[in-house]
Amino acid sequence: MAKNIQCELISWSETERLCLQLAKQIKSSGFQPDIVIAIGRGGYVPARLICDYLDIMALTSIKIELYGVGSGKNDQAVIKFPLCHNIRDMKVLLVDDVNDSGETLELAVKHLNTFQPRAIKIAVIHHKTSSHFQLDFFAKKIIKWRWLIYPWAVYEDISGFLSQQIPPAENLQQAQQYLDEQYNIRISKKRLRQVMDLMADSGC
């Protein structure tokens, strides 16, 4: 796992605000999806929120794996769970949390096109300009690259970072200092304690 990388914690309220902004973009564009497809796992929550805001009932998903624990990157994107739904001649809205390298989205579109949909539009919360993959909708542009920690992945990412600390933190203060210095993560003691307690319960 990489160290000394810049990270940003995304709150639930920020997530809701950006997803609402994204939904408004989609609606104003005139695109009316027949179905929303989330890319798991990061796209699950944004896709569900967008369905709520746009009053869309048809929601399904595929799962693609690219990143391991924390920001550890696998060699290539792979489809873990393919689409199990007929989308032939349908207008599809593909949703993920972030366009980072573009590899996940590129593989997803290639996979979905084998089902012969009428159209595929892509929406993400955050678009990193380091990616050259073209999107249809995004809520926020990230110019200076950083690792984004969404509220549904706090335990996974923080515990992943802490598991790499050598020697391991002996207390809350040491863990907090390590996260600040190595990853620019400023997390409350209460939240960090919750993560560390869960790590201890799971034997990490």
Q: pLDDT tens digits for 51-82?
A: 999 999 999 999 999 855 444 555 689 999 99
Strands 59-67, 73-81: parallel, antiparallel or unpaired by DSSP?
Answer: antiparallel
Amino acid (one-letter) located at 71: S
pLDDT tens per residue across span 143-178? 999 999 999 999 999 999 999 999 999 999 999 999
pTM of the entire structure?
0.91
Query: Do 135 and 120 touch, CB atoms closer than 8 A?
Result: no
125 touches 18 (CB < 8 A): yes
Residue 66: per-residue pLDDT: 81
Rounded distance between C-alpha atoms, residue 73 and residue 2, angstroms: 9
Class of domain 11-146: alpha beta
Q: For residue 107, which of 39, 52, 42 has the smallest C-alpha distance? A: 39
